[in-house]
A and B are shown apart, each in its own frame.
Chain A
């Protein structure tokens, strides 16, 4: 089975812009989660989608949003980018009690 894929792998944006990241889960996995990883805060949960519905949400501002499509692929969007949004954004797909991560998208905000 192919693993979790994320596109793009690297992205450079400027403050105030918006960005959309994409994630394709492992075939058959209906749960897709997004995490933000920074050196100072570690890995923090953003949100989880299951069957096109947001099932859980972390403590991030409304500028962070996501969606899931009928084929389980997911996108997350960050609007009005801030310097502090620079991070590695990780997508993971889950089945039962196991979670598998993609390689991440490295976002740099200038």
Chain B
């Protein structure tokens, strides 16, 4: 069974600060996905990383896939209250059978 560990579990910061969320595993993944979820709603796909060492940017969000494809990170620059939510990483043999990390609950205070 492939497991994904996310850290930190909770993060509370002030608007304008930077932060990094980590997603680690002892297993190799063919791809990893990052999602953001708001209470009572389904996760929304932010990005998929496929190639080891890959870096993808989505406005103020930067995603990196480890060289060995066992870990990934999400960095947010100048966080805003609208970034508040549960951030989840996921991976698996195929997208339809994904293992999810436990998530990082981010709160950005104005």
Interface residues of A (CB under 8 A from B): 4, 31-33, 35, 42-45, 48, 50, 55-56, 88, 90, 92, 94-104, 106
Would A42 and B95 count as touching, CB distance under 8 A?
no
B43 is contacted by which of A48, A90, A106 (Cβ under 8 Å)? A90
Per the bound structure, the CA–CA distance linking A1 and B83 in Å amounts to 25
Would B97 and A48 count as touching, CB distance under 8 A?
yes
Number of interface residues of B (CB under 8 A): 26
- B63-110 residues at the A interface, CB under 8 angstroms: 88, 90, 92-103
Would A98 and B96 count as touching, CB distance under 8 A?
no
Interface residues of B (CB under 8 A from A): 30-31, 33, 35, 40-45, 48, 50, 88, 90, 92-103
- The listed residue with most B CB atoms (<10 A of its CB), out of A32, A95, A98, is A98
Contacts of B50 in A (CB 8 A): 97
Per the bound structure, the CA–CA distance linking A31 and B93 in Å amounts to 14
Per the bound structure, the CA–CA distance linking A102 and B41 in Å amounts to 8
Per the bound structure, the CA–CA distance linking A87 and B98 in Å amounts to 18
Would B95 and A94 count as touching, CB distance under 8 A?
yes
Would B42 and A90 count as touching, CB distance under 8 A?
yes
